[in-house]
Homo-oligomer: A and B are copies of this chain.
Amino acid sequence: MVVSTRGRYALRVMIDLAEHGGGYIPMKDVAERQEISLKYLEKILPVLTKNHMIEGVHGKGGGYRLTRSPADYSVGDILRLTEGDLAPVSCLECDPKPCGRTAECRTFPMWQKLDRMMNEFFDGISIADLMRDPDE
């Protein structure tokens, strides 16, 4: 599997925030709408706030909101943050264990090509692209 629940949930949270306007949205509401455990969501969000993808305010009337326009988020950025790594094989992970066979490896170029392809795919999609079609 390429993308676990962490990345998928993160995307759905971002889309939900985008679809519910500019105010602060409590995660409780998002969790309910998206049918995702609130407690689990709370574990996924920190990496997004730390990287200034979203910002949260405490207290009544608080919640989270996006820091930019939905069109300015790429799916690739969000997935790389929440999944940690989008590498298709372990040889291409951020911290790969040295293989020593890379130079002679028949398959390595293929993995590199796939890696590029997937990153380009995800980078070419924005949160705005995933939002509800207003004609619906």
Contacts and interface: CB of A to CB of B under 8 A. Distances in A.
Contacts of A44: none
B117 A11 contact: no
Contacts of A11: 107
A75 B106 contact: no
A11 B8 CA distance: 30
Contact of A35 (B88, B101, B132): B101
B15 A107 contact: yes
B131 A8 contact: no
B2 A106 contact: no
A1 B106 contact: no
Contacts of A111: 3
Interface of A: 1-3, 5, 8, 11-12, 15, 35, 75, 85, 87-90, 93, 101, 106-107, 110-111, 113-114, 117-118, 121, 125, 130-132
16 contacts: A1-B2, A1-B88, A1-B89, A1-B93, A2-B2, A2-B114, A8-B89, A15-B106, A15-B107, A35-B101, A106-B131, A106-B132, A110-B125, A114-B121, A117-B117, A117-B121
